[in-house]
Amino acid sequence: AVSATCVRVPVCRAHSEAIWVETRERLELDAVREAFRRAPGLVLQDDPEDQVYPMPLFIAEKDPVYVGRLRRDLSSERGLTFWCVGDQIKKGAALNAVQIAEYLIQAGDLAKK
């Protein structure tokens, strides 16, 4: 299960979401962090003690999606929550459309006519 909340506030060029995920089995946070680190197009910024987490102010005009504030959901042993931020034009529209098309072409889902 996945639940996401997108909050629209007056910030320059950013989409921000609080995301809740419930998995089939309990995942270790370190393993999830490592998966985020390895994922193409994601940047992990996850050190709240030193105030390192994704902030809309700093991601405008950048291609990746920034993920942070990863923590276990208190209501579910298999639940995780995290915060992600991305440029609304690059990742939210233009770049994302190109990346989806590239994926579909590579997967053979778009036939040449």
pLDDT in tens, 72-100: 998 899 999 999 999 988 777 777 778 78
Q: Which residue has the higher pLDDT, 29 or 88?
A: 29
Tokens of 58: 């700093």
Q: Which residue has the higher pLDDT, 103 or 53?
A: 53
For the chain, domains (ranges, CATH) are 2-87 (3.30.360.10)
The model's pTM: 0.78
CA 91, chain centre distance (Å): 10
- CA distance linking residue 45 with residue 106, whole number of Å: 30
| Residues across the chain | 113
- CA distance linking residue 110 with residue 16, whole number of Å: 31
Query: With 80 as the cut, is the pLDDT of residue 11 above it?
Result: no
What's the whole-number average pLDDT of the chain? 87
Q: Rounded mean pLDDT of 9-31?
A: 89
